[in-house]
Structure 1
Amino acid sequence: MSCYLELAAAQKPLDIAFTLDKNNWNGKTTLQLVLKDIKSCTQPDNPYIKQDFLEHLFINGSKYIMEDNDQEIYIKEYLENKDKQSKVIDPFIQDKLVCIDVRGFNDKIGYIKNIVRTGEKSIIYVNSRNASYYLAADLRRDLPMYKEKFGYYNAGLNNEDRQSVEDLLREGKIQFIVTTSAFSLGMDIPDIKNVIFYHMCFSQEEHNHVAGWAQSNIETKIHLLYGSQDRELNQLLLAGTSPNREQLALFFLLLKKLTEKTNPINITNSQLAQWANIYKIVGIHANNIGIWLDILEELDIIKREIEGITQSIYLPTTQPKVNLECSLRYQKAITERNKFLDYVQIAL
């Protein structure tokens, strides 16, 4: 049994094979489980049978949700086409688009399940990689009849897997895709009947990008399913990816505290995020802390050397007086926050 200790210590989901047996002891008969084997749930039941693509996609989902920077893709695409778009005036009214306003609906999962049961090809927008994976996985679990019709999509997928998801959706082999804004325009996906805003977007540009998944040549329904609670969720996400002055000040004080005895310090992003959590710095996680460090490094407040997952962080003994606005990364963070505030005014 000692061979299973490492698996058990990992505290991750396991598959257990056992048989039932009677245990006669001291005049009493009880039912017992006879353990036959234990394996990680991600290990194929039969290693000689190749996983199909969807099994691979969901079993390995945790690899694809490490960082949430999917907005970079749609922003790049938007900027590349901005001039072209600004010079085009569409003279046609898209009378086949129907907007269904169910903002604040208290059972979003139930609402989506009803759409799934229609069998209509649907794209569901969510605001993070985590959400794209977990919502798709939950729907697959709750709707086993449609299990093989679900996929998810985000910028964490490698190019090959993203192309496979696109092909499956285009060919109708999957009917429902849960995706971040990384899902691109111009993919020529036919027969999209529903575009669902499960979460709020982060800007008007992103909202237009998502709405652009609807097609003008067939009747397509756009469902506004988000609510006021999603504003708070997006604000929390932005607190991590677009830190403000007060957050950065607290983060600098934490680094100063950590380097009091040893300067520089060798520390991983995960360890640093744990310290930030202890000091109650809002928004910091291991997958976004690099943004915070980049801003301070750009202003020469810290010096960094990265080797693998570990980094050496040095704080100069004499700190110059700096203007945060001199950091392009900080300017971008403030711009993202302001875009969201402007968007909220029209989205809710």
Structure 2
Amino acid sequence: MTLTCETRLPPARQNTQLRFAFYRDGRIVQDFSINDIYEVYNVQLEHSGKYSCEVETTDGRVRKRSAERLLQIEGAAIRPAVTFSPDYKKIFTAESITMTCDGGSTVGGGPIYIWYKDYSPVHNGKSYTIQRAGTSDSGSYRCQTSTGEISDPAGLDVSNGWVILQTPLYVYEGDDINITCHQHLIFPGGQTRFYKDNRVIRGWTDNAEYYIGRVDGTTAGTYRCQKEVDHDLLQYLHDDDEATVSVEELLTTPTITVTPQPVLQKDNMTLTCEKRLPPARQNTQLRFAFYREGWIVQNFSINDIYEVYNVQLEHSGKYSCEVETTDGRLRKRSGERLLQIKDRINNIGYTRQNVARLILFACVLITTGLLIF
């Protein structure tokens, strides 16, 4: 959160040196300094209150205080996401699975969760466990919080077959994933073979898991596994199952925003690197960097803003930002944004000219009126 103490000086005194202070509920939160902004990172509900600011000349001869402004911090309505444990979209009958509703609002004492299966309510609570699942438990599950936010659907498939290919519920770019060729526990299993898009990617081995590794766009496809399963009195037979793996975008391409608009010489300027994360990965840790004309001006850190105080004309240029996951596996860069710092004096001169024209026009009207009279 950024609070700005705005003031105006007459054209003849634009170079007057000023200092600013900020208050909440009458108590000082930022003492007098040349900084006309007050920033709060990771805002909490307790930051609510009546805010005001005070400005004074550096010699202390003149001081003025703003009116109070009530600022009410509200709990953000965060779209929830359904997660599974174990993290598989498909399970066998008689197995158990726990679904969790991650996210929600911070308003009041916390959200209330309602679970839906195929649009019908089935459970209340943050988690929903299905013990000894049956095929009737297959379906599309969503959770909704008391704020009205509802998750995307999460599909669960409960199988009574011999073999299932288990894949994670969500797969995002940069993930490390395994897929598992799983036989029903009441039958012993033998060797396993894996396919992708009908091509063998690993021949017969005793390992029922296939490690895909770091995910990118080429990971998406239809996977299939074959497995030897002992059907009681029968010899080993080859049963198979397939699953489609879709790769979702973890990070959107960031955009860079600038305040204030326009930026005038001697302003304090803030650039923000804006990005979006999917609901299921809202807690992904990110780092940000900023560039001007391709040269780095703020190295990677958890800070998604870049600030320049007392901006000068030479700060003009093409700005961009870059965001990466803290493990460095995924990195994306914004487009460049041309930022032209405007000369405050010229803007004032232009205003003076307008005022002079207005006065001259008024004089002409008065003179014309007198002549007519």
Q: TM-score, normalised by structure 1?
A: 0.26
More helix by proportion, 1 or 2? 1
For the pair shown, which has the larger CA radius of gyration, 1 or 2?
2
More strand by proportion, 1 or 2? 2
Higher-RCO chain (CA-CA 8 Å, sequence separation at least 6): 1
